[in-house]
Homo-oligomer: A and B are copies of this chain.
Amino acid sequence: MSGLQTRLLGEILGIRAIDCHSHVPHELPHARSLWDLLGHHYYTELAHSAGMPAGAVDPGRSEAERIGEMVARLDTLSNTVQYGWLMEAARELFAFGPERLTPQNWRDLARAVAEAGRQEGRYRAVLAKANLEKVFLTNGFDENLEAVDRTVFVPCLRTDDLVFKLGDAQVRHRLAVKTGIEIGSTGDLRDAAQWLMQYFVRHGAASAAVSLPPEFAPREPDEAAAAAALGRALKGKELAAADADALAVFALDAVASACRQFRKPLQLMLGVIRNVYPAGVPGGRDLPSKQGSLMAYADLFRRFPEVDFTVSVLSTAWAHELAAFAWIFPNVKPSGHWWYANIPAHIEYDLRARLEAVPQVKLIGYYSDMYKVEFGLPKFNMYRRILARVLAREFVETGRMTEAQAVDTARLLLRENPRRIFGV
């Protein structure tokens, strides 16, 4: 690593970042046991893909047994960046010395995790060490947000159920319980979306979010078609594909309208197909598809100029379109590197392209997507290293930025842009 890159990295590590997308459970944000880390789908799905039977980590078995199964197979995946996150977390957060986790040494780490997990406010210490100021949550629409520690966490209204599962009576029931609105019409749906957005904003939420399949095409909703579909759902009928689509298009519009009303961004997570591999371990059954195009979203971006859409794409095949759309549409903000694209090879290429083509005030550099706060440090540090490398090699060494300007740009990506865009 060049001296320049080392200096840039030092500065970048010192930037207090905002993490605008995670799945941290606010009531149990940090690990209480090694299984809370190793049982993450990052690891179980890779171990399963490398030959471990899904039953080896069945919840019916003891944590020690499950950990033993996993640790015995870590060699098969020790090349992956996910494994790198685990070992960096072990070293930096639990003072774990060995460079590999083995059947011989895992109990030392397990003990350290359990001990740290009992510390009062451990998650705040972990986030401080990761230099993360705020971490966004992903909250179901009927989650109770009263107890969220808003000194570090920011709620986010996840709307997947609202958009895609209104045909399910159970979802409508949960909605009625939460909002007091029995969904009998499309108007009720708009009201419910508004009610939820208001509730969330009152409890500190800074955005809504939704993940969408690659072939979905949001458009001006056909309210009559949506009403007819809703009518059939209310009569307990299984919705045909066209009905389900009409209803989803309408519901997404209602969500976007609520975002407009409350001046909050809508996080779009594009390109995931759910349950492609049903025999996989929990969390490890969804996959990206290269099909589809951001062009399908142009209409949404045009109809809601007042709403910031922070957009993540699951397939790297969409990365160029995302940068191009952000280059032209004021309300399209590329956001981080998501899931199957959260790999250094892709981050480095896509980040360089975004930095070369998109106004720097529009880029949300990174978010962790983590399930426990412990992963914030290694994931953000991976990103910080790549950012330092790209800024050093492509911007400072080529004379396009001074060293100080490169640090300013990094500050925008890690901190200032998410603060401004989400208003936190």
Please report A residues at the B interface, Cβ cutoff 8 Å: 1, 45-51, 76-82, 84, 99, 273, 276-280, 284-285, 287-291, 293-295, 298, 301-302, 305, 315-318, 320-321, 323-330, 340-341, 343-346, 349, 352-353, 355-362, 385, 394-395, 397-398, 400-402, 405, 409
Contact = CB atoms under 8 A, between A and B. Distances in A.
Number of copies: 3
Given A277-B301, A344-B394, A345-B349, 10 more contacts: A1-B397, A48-B330, A49-B358, A49-B359, A49-B362, A80-B358, A277-B328, A290-B320, A343-B356, A385-B398
Given A298-B276, A355-B79, A360-B76, A317 B290 contact: yes
Contacts of A395: 79
A112 B400 CA distance: 23
A76 B361 contact: yes
A370 B301 CA distance: 29
A424 to B, nearest CB: 19
Q: Is the interface of A mostly helix, strand, loop or mixed?
A: helix
22 contacts: A46-B359, A49-B358, A78-B360, A81-B356, A81-B357, A82-B357, A84-B400, A276-B298, A276-B328, A277-B329, A280-B328, A284-B328, A288-B320, A288-B321, A290-B293, A290-B321, A316-B320, A323-B340, A327-B340, A344-B356, A345-B352, A346-B353
Tell me which of A50, A76, A328 has the highest count of chain B C-beta atoms within 10 A of its own C-beta: A328
Contacts of A402: 99
A97 to B, nearest CB: 15
Nearest to A289: B295
Q: Interface centre among A79, A321, A397, A402, by most B CB within 10 Å? A: A79
A31 to B, nearest CB: 22
A217 to B, nearest CB: 12
Contacts of A398: 385
Contacts of A344: 352, 356, 394
Nearest to A340: B324
Contacts of A76: 359-361
Q: Which 9 A-B pairs have the closest CB atoms?
A: A50-B359, A345-B353, A77-B359, A79-B360, A345-B352, A316-B320, A76-B361, A324-B340, A81-B356
A79 B315 CA distance: 25
Contact of A46 (B80, B284, B327): B327
A298 B279 CA distance: 12
Give the most central of A352, A359, A360, A362: most B CB within 10 Å: A359
